[in-house]
Structure 1
């Protein structure tokens, strides 16, 4: 699972639903939608969303890329967080992310896939997604949803001094991997062995408490 942001995809606005006045501050609610060509997956996601991300509300779920893009860009149906399946019948998740991101940064994008997240991580990041996660890993999906939703509500973030501190090489390794470079390519740039680059990646993954390298990239890019 990974979470990532690009130059134009880092969103800092919060979407709060109007609530009656009370003596306690209202809890920010994240409007969530999804595009997935598997109807059962959409139903399952809607069912588990309250458990994965309690401070959220399901908005809609569609099967097609074209419809998802239209609804995500319409102010009347725009979600704060859109889950995008990487494999769709009428397009690709990468295309959905790219077309939405080139029009707005008000929609946070979390890519999901039934395949290896490492196969899509770089392309999803380049298309403007904040993260990518395996459909089969519910704990990882919960962590990804929380990490991406925190981007929508910066007031809920932990202070910088509570975030894990990565070394310069560890940060650079994650950044270059997110851009699609391989261990061999990074090693050639730095005049080191691929094993050295892999060590930096593993250390960064451990420091961030990530479940996988893709998850580490996502967490790093969402900081």
Structure 2
């Protein structure tokens, strides 16, 4: 039986020491391969086009084209590549800009190495994620904030709305299943239908809709 194809990762950060540190963490993982590095947003876009990575670890503040602008372009031009934002800047403006740009997740650079490895695996599978402290800030920031009309939720069943609320609270499929007394497979089916109905590319985008449509204000 052959080994599974490793997850191809591109590292984007203007500091060489940071890139080297992430490389050391990731290269000991059998299922992850660091295929390239970039020092700014423009170089990141060229590298994505040339290397077709599965996941990009993207810094936010860099000279020239920053991580937010690069993320938006990469997501638009390479929909199969997922972008994880990694930053030292614990700032709501960066957070919401990154999520609106289409990032699949947002982690702080001081997160434990195992969380970084886990996040890459989830992103490669098409799952979005937010660090717990980030989810709490999304909830706090989004109170009374509505940019999506509430009618965007009209096609959701009551159970799908419940699942979406749970997603927006940061619960995993297994946690939602335990809370609702259903199987994880059932939750996975609900999540898939929610994404399709909302036109969301992943869980993170669905969570944004949940907050901005006022669902979490109920």
TM range (shorter): 0.5 to 0.7
Query: Could you tell me which of 200, 204, 208 is aligned with 1:221?
Result: 204
Correspondence 1:87 to 2:52: no
* Kept after mapping to 2: 8 A contact 1:81/1:110: yes
TM-score of the aligned structures, taking structure 1 as reference length: 0.58
Q: Tell me the secondary structure at the aligned position of residue 14 of structure 2.
A: coil
Q: Deviations over 1:176-219 (max 9, x none)?
A: x59x9621326xx99xxxxxxxxx7898235667xxxxxxxxx8
Equivalenced residues, count: 154
Bigger share in helix: 2
User: How far 1:150 moved relative to its partner?
Assistant: 2.1
Query: Does the C-alpha gap of structure 1 residues 28 and 116 become closer, same or farther in structure 2, counting only changes over 3 Å?
Result: same
The CA distance in 1 between the partners of 2:167 and 2:124, in whole Å, is 26
Deviation at 1:120, TM superposition (A): 2.5
Q: State the partner residue of 1:71.
A: 47
- Note the residue ranges of structure 1 that are not aligned, 5 or more in a row: 1-23, 153-173, 191-199, 210-218
What SS does the aligned partner of 1:33 have? strand
SS at match of 1:116: coil
Deviations, residues 153-180 of structure 1 (Å, cap 9, x unaligned):
xxxxxxxxxxxxxxxxxxxxx8xx59x9
1:205 to 162, 166, 170: 170
**Alignment counterpart, residue 48 of structure 1, candidates 5, 9, 25:** 25
Once the two structures are superposed, residues 90-147 of structure 1 have per-residue CA deviations (whole angstroms, 9 ceiling, x without a partner) of 1211100111122121211111111116442322122121111111112432331121
Structure 1 pair 221–48 and aligned structure 2 pair: CA distance change class (3 A):
same
Aligned to 1:145: 120
Matched residue, 2:193: none
In structure 1, how many angstroms separate the alpha carbons of the residues matched to 2:101 and 2:168? Answer: 27
Distance 1:88 1:151 in 2: 26
Please say if residues 60 and 67 of structure 2, whose CA atoms lie closer than 8 Å, have aligned partners that are also in contact.
yes
Contact 1:151 1:222 survives alignment (8 Å):
no
CA contact 1:117–1:132 (8 Å) conserved in 2: no
Single out whichever of 96-105 and 143-152 deviates more from structure 2: 143-152
Is 2:12 the counterpart of 1:38?
no
User: Partner of 2:144 in structure 1?
Assistant: 184
Identify the structure with bigger relative contact order (alpha carbons < 8 Å, sequence gap 6+). 1
> Equivalent residue for 2:212?
none
